A and B are shown apart, each in its own frame.
Chain A
Amino acid sequence: MSINNIDGCIGCGICVETCPTDVIRIDPASGKAAIVYPADCQICHLCRMYCPVDAITITPEKTIPVVVSWG
Chain B
Amino acid sequence: MNQKTKDGMSRRQFLQIAGGASACAALMTFGVKSGWAANSPSFPVREVGFQSHETDIIVVGSGLAGLFAAVKAHDAGASVMMVSKGRLGTSGQTPFARGIFAWDPSTASMGLDEFTEAVSRSALGTNNPVYTRQMAEHSLARVNELREWGFFETNLYYNVFNKPIVERNIPVLQRIMITKLIKENGRIAGVAGFSLDDSKVHVIQAKSVILCTGAGGFKPNGFPICDLTHDGTVMAYDIGAKVTGKEWNDGHPGQSVNPAACYNGWERMLESMPSANSIGIRHDLGVGENYQAYMKGNPVSMGPPGQGGSTTASGGPYTPQEFLQRSNDEGRGGENGPGEGGPPPGMGGVIVGGASAGMSIHKSEGLVPINDRCESNVPGLFAAGDSLGSYMAGAIYTQIGSSMAGSAVQGAIAAEAAAEYASGVEIPALSESRIDAIRNEMLAPLGRTEGYGPAWVTQVLQGVMIPNFVIYVKKESILKAALAYVEELRDHHVPMLRASDMHELRLAHETRNMIVNAEMKLKASLMRKESRCSHFRLDYPDVDYDNWQAWINISKEADGTMKLEKQPFESWPN
Binding site for B on A (CB under 8 A): 17-22, 36-40, 42-46, 49-50, 58, 60-71
Contacts and interface: CB of A to CB of B under 8 A. Distances in A.
Nearest to B25: A65
B467 A63 contact: no
Contacts of A69: 290, 293, 352-354, 357, 466-468, 472
Contacts, number: 131
B460 to A, nearest CB: 10
How many interface residues does chain B have, given as a range? 35 or more
A33 B191 CA distance: 31
Contacts of A62: 221, 258, 260-261
Nearest to A43: B261
11 contacts: A20-B90, A20-B227, A36-B503, A39-B30, A42-B225, A60-B261, A66-B221, A67-B466, A70-B354, A71-B298, A71-B352
Contacts of A40: 226, 503, 507
A17 B357 CA distance: 26
A68 B254 contact: yes
Contact of A68 (B227, B263, B353, B459): B353
Given A61-B258, A66-B221, A70-B468, A50 B455 contact: no
A46 B95 contact: yes
A68 B259 contact: yes
A66 B260 contact: yes
Nearest to A48: B263
Given A60-B264, A67-B221, 7 more contacts: A42-B224, A46-B90, A50-B158, A61-B260, A68-B222, A69-B290, A70-B290
Contact of B175 (A17, A46, A66, A71): A17
A29 to B, nearest CB: 15
Contacts of A46: 90, 95
Nearest to B467: A69
A38 to B, nearest CB: 7
Contacts of A60: 258, 260-261, 263-264
B156 interface: yes
A41 B264 CA distance: 14
Interface of B: 26-27, 30-32, 86-87, 90-92, 95-96, 155-156, 158, 174-175, 196, 219-222, 224-227, 254, 256, 258-264, 270, 290, 293-294, 297-298, 300, 352-355, 357, 455, 459, 462-463, 466-468, 472, 503, 506-507
A42, A69, A71 — most chain B CB neighbours (10 Å) = A69
Contacts of B455: 39, 64
Contacts of B503: 22, 36-37, 40
Contacts of A17: 86-87, 90, 174-175
Contacts of A43: 258, 260-264
A44 to B, nearest CB: 4
Contacts of A38: 30-31
A45 B269 CA distance: 13
Given A61-B258, A68-B353, A70-B294, A20 B32 contact: no
Given A20-B91, A62-B260, A39 B27 contact: yes
Contacts of B30: 38-39, 63-64
A52 B222 CA distance: 26
Contacts of B506: 22
A63 B263 CA distance: 16
A37 B455 CA distance: 11
A65 B459 contact: yes
A61 to B, nearest CB: 6
Contacts of B27: 39, 64-65
The 6 closest A-B pairs by CB, nearest first: A69-B354, A69-B353, A60-B261, A62-B260, A20-B227, A60-B258
Contacts of A64: 26-27, 30, 32, 455, 459
